[in-house]
């Protein structure tokens, strides 16, 4: 079968898979039906299929007749707790849950790659694993458990991609080294002594202490972190008080931290914990800090990123393969890159003509489905380059 004919037959199937998944989304750690759907499609392609990997994870395995190394291709498959605001035939059928980040497309891309190699198995040198991971959107994520369950055992390299609407259709991007940020969360509870709003002198105002702490936390990046190291400290919520004439006895702050290197990550945590205690004491209150370390930074392997820049022009116009800036969103693909070399890539999926203009995690999010064809061809070219030693 000619490859052009293959894609004429299979790309419409990829679109159908994507729309089925979009209509039937499942949240992180709840992907039971999604997992079963994917496993059945892989079995139909004649693959060895492993289910229940790290929870609802699924791995399809194809081994070539020629000896060679093992390549892992990864897709996520979970949805988000967002109401689908679109009006289309494949709108989510589950209230309050939708694929607002493109994971339905990622899963369909990987199924497309599985279909390709099931048809052109003579191209395989070694082994290819098609890894469908649950729970990318919610810490601690699904990658850790899949690794514990042996998803990378004996593997040599791992590739993953993300459909990205900020990039226009027909483009691709990546970068060597740190690409996406580590993400941590903090929860600070300040305890004071409440009282009458007209008698502040006999109270310890937790709200005032919290407000002061919000402003002080902003100095961590500007006055503590190396200016050459990107970092973000954001206070997302502050909750205190019950009435306009009551001084608050408690105040809660929550926020997120984004960094790209471990030294800065540790430094910011130490500063937040110390600052919370000292600012609270200044206002005769007390502070307790709960700090949750989330995903580490996505750090691409230099050689595999160079492979991307050599290989992607086979799929995209050479001037449309670009160096990505560092991005503050996080990805648990980072855990795989801590185990073996690999590369995480972005495939442009934005297109105003198809209303693919909304940011990820937006109720109106959608992407140009033609980007899936670009994505599957990119993965195939990366595998071929690696297995052929190019």
pLDDT tens by residue, 150-184: 999 999 999 999 999 999 999 999 999 999 999 99
Give the pLDDT score at 385. 97
Long-range contacts of 196-202 (CB under 8 A, 24+ apart): 196/245, 196/246, 196/247, 197/243, 197/244, 197/245, 197/246, 197/247, 198/245, 200/247
Catalytic residue among 31, 76, 78, 205: 78
Written as one string, the DSSP assignment of 92-117 is: -SSTT-B--SSHHHHHHHHHHHHHHH
Provide the token pair at 256. Answer: 């997120």
Mean pLDDT of successive 10-residue stretches along the chain, which has 390 residues: 85 98 98 98 97 98 94 98 97 98 98 97 95 97 97 98 98 98 98 97 98 98 96 98 97 98 97 98 98 97 98 98 97 98 98 96 98 98 94
Note the pLDDT tens digit of each residue in 201-213. 999 999 999 999 9
Burial of 376 (0-12, 13-18, 19+ CB in 10 A): buried
Give the pLDDT score at 1. 62
Element (H, E) at 233: strand 231-240
Is-catalytic flag, 301?
A: no
The number of C-alpha atoms within 13 Å of 59 and in the hemisphere containing its C-beta is 23
SS3 state of residue 294: coil
Give the pLDDT score at 211. 98
Give the pLDDT score at 138. 95
Tell me the C-alpha distance between 246 and 18, whole Å.
Answer: 53
pTM: 0.93
Catalytic residue among 26, 31, 76, 136: 136
Is-catalytic flag, 303?
A: no
What number of residues does the chain have? 390
Tell how strand 177-180 and strand 298-300 pair up: antiparallel
């Amino acid at each position: 079968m000619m490859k052009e004919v293959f894609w004429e037959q299979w790309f419409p199937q990829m679109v159908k898979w994507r729309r089925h998944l979009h209509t039937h989304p499942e949240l992180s750690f709840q992907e039971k039906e999604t997992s079963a759907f994917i496993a059945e499609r892989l079995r139909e392609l004649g693959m060895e299929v492993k289910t229940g990997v790290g929870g609802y994870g699924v791995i399809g395995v194809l081994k070539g007749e020629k000896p060679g190394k093992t390549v892992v291709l990864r897709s996520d498959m979970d949805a988000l707790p967002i109401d689908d605001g679109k009006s289309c035939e494949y709108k989510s059928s589950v209230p309050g849950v939708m694929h607002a980040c493109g994971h339905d497309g990622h899963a369909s891309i990987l199924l497309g790659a599985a279909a390709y190699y099931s048809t052109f198995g003579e191209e395989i040198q070694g082994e290819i694993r098609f890894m469908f991971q649950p729970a990318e959107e919610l810490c601690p994520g699904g990658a850790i458990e899949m690794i514990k369950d042996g998803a990378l055992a004996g593997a040599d390299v791992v590739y993953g991609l993300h459909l990205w609407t900020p990039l226009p259709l027909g483009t691709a991007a990546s970068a060597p080294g740190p690409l996406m940020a580590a993400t941590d969360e903090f929860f600070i509870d300040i305890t004071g002594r409440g009282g009458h709003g007209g008698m502040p002198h006999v109270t310890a105002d937790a709200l005032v202490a919290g407000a002061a702490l919000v402003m002080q936390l902003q100095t961590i990046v500007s006055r503590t972190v190396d200016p050459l190291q990107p970092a973000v400290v954001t206070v997302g919520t502050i909750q205190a008080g019950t009435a306009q004439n009551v001084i608050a006895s408690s105040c809660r702050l929550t926020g997120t931290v984004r960094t790209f290197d471990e030294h800065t990550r540790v430094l910011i945590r130490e500063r937040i914990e110390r600052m919370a205690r000292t600012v609270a004491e200044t206002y005769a209150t007390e502070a307790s800090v709960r700090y949750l370390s989330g995903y580490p930074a996505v750090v691409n392997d230099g050689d595999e990123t160079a492979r991307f820049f050599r290989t992607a022009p086979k799929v995209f116009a050479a001037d449309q393969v670009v160096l990505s800036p560092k991005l503050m969103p996080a990805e648990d693909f980072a855990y795989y890159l801590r185990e073996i070399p690999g590369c995480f890539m972005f495939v442009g999926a934005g297109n105003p003509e198809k209303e693919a203009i909304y940011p990820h995690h937006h109720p109106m999010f959608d992407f140009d489905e033609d980007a899936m064809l670009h994505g599957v061809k990119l993965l195939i070219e990366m595998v071929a380059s690696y297995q052929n030693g190019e």
